[in-house]
């Protein structure tokens, strides 16, 4: 399973459907995102979500820590796929 999909599933399980929808598009992914620091954006948004949803804060903070620990980083296969693609040229924007 692609790491963007693993992240999307984890976000859905935490009750963060809007973030899960963004994750499913690759918004927070190392190589698919147009953001310079997608994981930092994700960590920031999870912190905000934990504050906005105190009833889910423990679950969200646990997910945030999983992100910080690198659980949803791009896999070696995804890295190799990206390196072979035209997508690697986005850095020259």
Question: pLDDT digit string (tens) for 64-82?
Answer: 999 999 999 988 888 888 7
What is the average pLDDT across 23-29? 96
Q: What distance in Å separates the CA atoms of residue 26 and residue 11, rounded to the nearest whole number?
A: 13
Q: What is the pLDDT of residue 79?
A: 80
Say what percent of the chain tops pLDDT 70.
91
Cα four-point dihedral sign 27, 61, 47, 16: positive
Q: What is the pLDDT of residue 92?
A: 43
Domain that holds residue 53: 3-92
* Strand residues in the chain grouped as ranges (E): none
Q: What is the pTM (predicted TM-score) of this model? A: 0.85
For position 69, what pLDDT does the model report? Answer: 97
Token pair 């698919």: residue: 32
Rounded distance, CA 27 to CA 16, Å? 14
Which one, of 65, 75, 63, 72, lies nearest residue 24 by Cα? 72
């Amino acid at each position: 399973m692609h790491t963007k999909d693993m992240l999307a599933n984890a976000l859905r399980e935490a009750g963060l459907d809007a973030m899960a929808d963004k994750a499913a598009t690759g918004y927070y992914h190392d190589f698919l995102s147009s953001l310079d620091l997608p994981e930092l954006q994700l960590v920031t948004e999870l912190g905000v979500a934990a504050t906005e949803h105190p009833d889910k804060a423990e679950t969200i903070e646990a997910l945030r820590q999983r992100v910080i620990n690198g659980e949803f980083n791009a896999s070696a296969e995804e890295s190799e796929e990206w390196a072979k693609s035209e997508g690697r040229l986005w850095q020259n924007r």
